[in-house]
Amino acid sequence: MTARPALARRALGEFLGTGLLVTVVVGSGIAAQRLSADTGLRLLENSIATAFGLAVLILLLGPVSGAHFNPVVSLMDAVLGRRDHTGLPGRDLAVYMAVQVLGAIAGAVLANAMFSVPTVISATQRATPGTLLGEVVATAGLVLLIAGLSRACATLPQIAAAVGAYIGSAYWFTSSTSFANPAVTIGRIFTDTFAGIAPASVLPYLAAQLVGAAIGIALTLLLFPTTSTTTVPAVALVPSDMEEAS
């Protein structure tokens, strides 16, 4: 059985993957804002680019880090894999979360730079009772989808396609346009463009995402109480409890 990549290489994969995901979200939002006057058309353009971009990044970096790109996915990995020691250990979880947040911020800065937009704090207020409920629903669905497919022995391409499709559709069926990712939420503070979010809205969004993650984990345990694979991680195809490659 092949040893999983060393933590440093996996951390780089998570940094790049989360960063490029935010670059896709923010960059396509800026392009849509410039190309289209209609808000609905802008959202369509933004959601299509995000869905495809996310699927590609999962396919590319899944074999390296598991392609979590999301602190709640990493947390789900650690929680669901705790009993049989297949989940992320505490040190790895902390590293994953840190590089995901740093990558998300870097991704927003990169997107701004490509479109010659200044990196400033967003003024877009998003937190309302309805959008927070939307974040709970979006995050719970995402966690359940990833954990359920992993436990059902889905392949990497199947998971990549399903996650991309879910996020693309959740842009539309949730009132929040489905951030469903604490790192991406923090990264989107740093662009005052179509995809931005004001700092005052971030803490409520993060709280809603944690609630959604807890619901998603609980539903996974009810619907998929056992796993038919050796791994619980989001898209990882190698167990988290194996020794690191030297």
Query: Which residue, chain included where needed, has tokens 């503070």?
Result: 189
Q: In CATH terms, is domain 7-223 a member of 1.20.1080.10?
A: yes
pLDDT the model gives residue 243:
36
pLDDT the model gives residue 228:
59
Contact 149, 113 (CB under 8 A): no
Query: Which residue, chain included where needed, has tokens 């988290």?
Result: 240
* Residue 108: partners with Cβ closer than 8 Å, 6 or more residues away: 22, 23, 26, 119, 187, 188, 189, 190, 191
Contact 103, 17 (CB under 8 A): yes
Q: Burial of 210 by CB count in 10 Å (0-12 exposed, 13-18 middle, 19+ buried)? A: middle
The whole-angstrom separation of Cα 138 and Cα 182 is 12
pLDDT the model gives residue 227:
66
Contact 191, 26 (CB under 8 A): yes
Task: Examine the pLDDT at 197 and tell me if it is beyond 80.
Answer: yes
Least confident interval from 27-36, 79-88, 89-98, 179-188: 79-88
Hey, which residues does 4 pair with through a beta bridge? Answer: 244
The pLDDT of 116-140, averaged and rounded, is 98
Q: Which pLDDT tens digit goes with each residue over 138-177?
A: 999 999 999 999 999 999 999 999 999 999 999 999 999 9
The SS3 assignment for 244 reads strand
The pLDDT of 64-80, averaged and rounded, is 97
Please give the C-alpha separations between residue 197 and each of 58, 121, 233, in angstroms, as whole numbers: 25, 8, 29
Task: Examine the pLDDT at 229 and tell me if it is beyond 60.
Answer: no
Domain boundaries, the chain: 7-223
Task: Examine the pLDDT at 239 and tell me if it is beyond 90.
Answer: no
User: Helix H segments across the chain?
Assistant: 7-35, 39-65, 71-80, 90-114, 129-151, 156-173, 182-187, 199-223
* Mean pLDDT for all residues in the chain: 91
Contact 168, 90 (CB under 8 A): no
Angle 20-23-26 (CA atoms, 0-180°, nearest 5)?
Answer: 150
pLDDT confidence bin for 82, thresholds 50/70/90: confident
The pLDDT of 130-143, averaged and rounded, is 98
Task: Examine the pLDDT at 237 and tell me if it is beyond 80.
Answer: no
pLDDT the model gives residue 127:
98
Query: Which residue, chain included where needed, has tokens 């807890």?
Result: 214
Task: Examine the pLDDT at 1 and tell me if it is beyond 90.
Answer: no
Residue 122 host element (H or E) = none
